[in-house]
Amino acid sequence: MKLIFDFDDVLFHSTPRFKEHLRASLEKAGISRAAVEEYAQNLSGRGFSLKELLNKFSIKLDWYEEVLKDSKEFINQDLLKIIKRLGRENCYIVSFGHGEFQRDKMEKAGIATLFSEIIVVSGSKKEAVEKICSEHKTEKVVFVDDKARHFQDLDFKKYPNLKTILYDEQGLEKIQEEIKNIQ
């Protein structure tokens, strides 16, 4: 079995924990919460880049490291245990966002080396998820995301080995049940 995880709000407690940490750190740097919200609203679908935000407000890039240094605190420890048990060869990340910022969060959180492949997309996750399904046609592939919209365009007929799990209040239990079914 292969597990594909979304990053933000699945593996990484982005909302509200990391976002609050980010806002508080940026306030210390002199950027108001309102300015951060306005910047985020004007992204028009592209991922949030902390470096771009800092540059826009002429803040030294030292703040980038300052914000990211505590990334380990935001990791979903329950999922981390599952990933370590299943092994690198069985785990993937497919995440939406700004590539550099997403990868830097993963690196600073200390989890990047736990995954066979990390794919960061700026649009649909369809191609990345289906590529993994295609590479592992003889195995079940479980895609875990906190947003059901990322499941809508997936081709379940072409990839009958694909199963999705919405990571909601029962998300952890659903994943544990899937793993239990293969052992």
Q: What is the pLDDT of residues 80-133, one digit of tens each?
A: 999 999 999 999 999 999 999 999 999 999 999 999 999 999 999 999 999 999
Percent of the chain with pLDDT over 90: 84
pLDDT band at 148 (very low <50, low <70, confident <90, very high): very high
64 plus 87 within the same structural domain: no
Query: Is 55 found in the same domain as 118?
Result: no
pLDDT the model gives residue 61 = 87
In Å, how far from its chain's centre is CA 142?
Answer: 15
Q: Average pLDDT over the chain, rounded to whole?
A: 94
Domain that holds residue 59: 14-68
Do residues 41 and 92 share a domain? no
42 and 115 assigned to the same domain: no
Residues 6+ apart with CB under 8 A from 121: 94, 95, 96, 127, 128
Residue 111 sits in a domain whose CATH number is: 3.40.50.1000
pLDDT at 24: 93
pLDDT at site 73: 97
Average confidence (pLDDT) over 65-88: 96
d(CA 141, CA 121): 19
115, 173: one domain: yes
Domain ends where: 68, 96, 112?
A: 68
Model confidence at 181: pLDDT above 90? no
Asked if 41 and 128 sit in the same domain, the reply is no
User: 16-30, 38-52, 111-125 — which is least confidently predicted?
Assistant: 38-52
DSSP element (H, E) containing 84 = helix 77-86
State whether 43 and 118 are in the same domain. Answer: no
Residues 94 and 45 in one domain: no
Answer with the one of 46, 68, 90 that is the final residue of a domain: 68
User: Residues 23-44: what's their mean pLDDT?
Assistant: 89
Residues 6 or more apart whose Cβ sits within 8 Å of residue 79? 5, 10, 11, 172, 175
Q: Is the pLDDT of residue 45 over 90?
A: no
Instruction: Judge whether residue 182 has pLDDT over 80.
Output: no
Q: 120-146, pLDDT tens digit by residue?
A: 999 999 999 999 999 999 999 999 999
Split into its structural domains, the chain has a count of: 2
Confidence bin at 183 (pLDDT 50/70/90)? low
Single pTM value for the model? 0.94
